Amino acid sequence: MTAFDTHCSSLTRAVLPGHSAEILIKRDDLIHPIVSGNKWRKLKYLIAEATERGCNQLVTFGGAYSNHMVATACAGAVMGIRTACFIRADEAIHNHYLAAARLYGMQLIPVSREDYRQKEQLFDAHFGQQPAAMFIAEGGASAAAARGVAEIITELASAPDWIVHASATATTALGLAQGIAARGLKTRVLSVAVLRNGDEQREKAREAGLDHIIHVNDEHTLGGYAKTSPELMAFIREFIATTGIMIDPVYTGKALFALQQICPEGDILFLHTGGTLGIFSDAYLKQLT
Ligand SMILES: *Cc1c(COP(=O)(O)O)cnc(C)c1O
């Protein structure tokens, strides 16, 4: 048993600001205080594979505000495996994500946006001589990641009509839908795109034969990744103050704000995917507090 085999993720009832209906929230944010819940889910079987293969080095990729980077750094620290992350950056950046990753002992390797696109080449150039180094895709995207996410469905006592969540690469959506299909449930997944890649996400659902379960809504991106509006910020402030649950403008806050406006019929379970560090970025704090 390791810290990556156990976790607690409970259910909380909440009322969205400006609404009367209650929703249930699956608290994957409680899995870890720093690591995003869905990044933990995605890493679970990747870490198991690394341990089985005797890997002593995890190598991954991320932006300077990457929840996946921090999650991988923490996983490595827990498991006693060295970690490194290529950081996409045109200039030197210091923030609390990079600080957390460093504290967990991760080696950070800043590379230009151009070089960052050639991930296999970067891996080969820096870690090609190390047979025990393992390549982990940006965001942890993989079949193993979807398998970890699918376990969320086995933890539910009853099947809601909708599971709503913040969606970026669609890995979380695919995992949820796989879990739903495996159990033969009627539940559908409402994936709120947090960036303008709705068509890409729909295509992934179609390719996987899961588009009858996954509905991608890309009408609430507010113009793109990490983009906000005064209305979103007001919603987030009120939600946190009235529920005691932290949400962030990039992922869960944006998805909940969209849910407040879409509000599909039926029982709704919102999956809180984590991402708590997101609220503590200077630019957001200035607008919020
Ligand atoms: C990465 C992340 C997501 C998006 O997950 P995908 O599997 O890429 O769609 C959602 N919420 C949080 C908090 C995240 O860190």
Kindly write down the DSSP assignment for every residue of 216-234, as one continuous string: EE-S-STTSTT---HHHHH
Report mean pLDDT in 10-residue bins for the chain, 289 residues.
Answer: 66 90 94 93 96 96 96 96 93 90 97 95 96 95 95 96 98 98 98 98 98 98 97 96 96 97 93 96 90
Q: How far apart are the C-alpha atoms of 158 and 142, rounded to whole Å? A: 28
Cβ(140)–Cβ(171) below 8 Å: yes
How many Å lie between the centroid of ligand 1 and the Cα of residue 190?
14
Cβ(172)–Cβ(38) below 8 Å: yes
pLDDT tens column, 256-283: 999 999 988 999 999 999 999 999 998 8
How many Å lie between the centroid of ligand 1 and the Cα of residue 273?
7
Indicate if ligand 1 lies below 6 Å from the C-beta of 175. Answer: no
Indicate if ligand 1 lies below 6 Å from the C-beta of 201. Answer: no
* pLDDT of 18: 85
Among 42, 167, 270, which is best to mutate for testing ligand 1, by the most ligand atoms less than 8 A from CB? Answer: 167
Q: Which atom of ligand 1 is nearest to the CA of 29?
A: 13
* pLDDT of 1: 42
* pLDDT of 21: 83
DSSP-assigned beta bridge partners for residue 24: 13, 269
Residue whose C-alpha is closest to residue 38's, from 134, 165, 159: 165
Order of all β-strands in the sheet with 57-63 = 107-111, 82-88, 57-63, 133-135
Q: How far apart are the C-alpha atoms of 31 and 213, rounded to whole Å? A: 26
**DSSP for residue 279:** G
Pairing outcome for strands 11-15 and 22-27: antiparallel
Q: Which atom of ligand 1 is nearest to the CA of 42?
A: 7
What percent of the chain is helix, strand and coil (3-state, nearest 5)?
Answer: 45, 20, 35
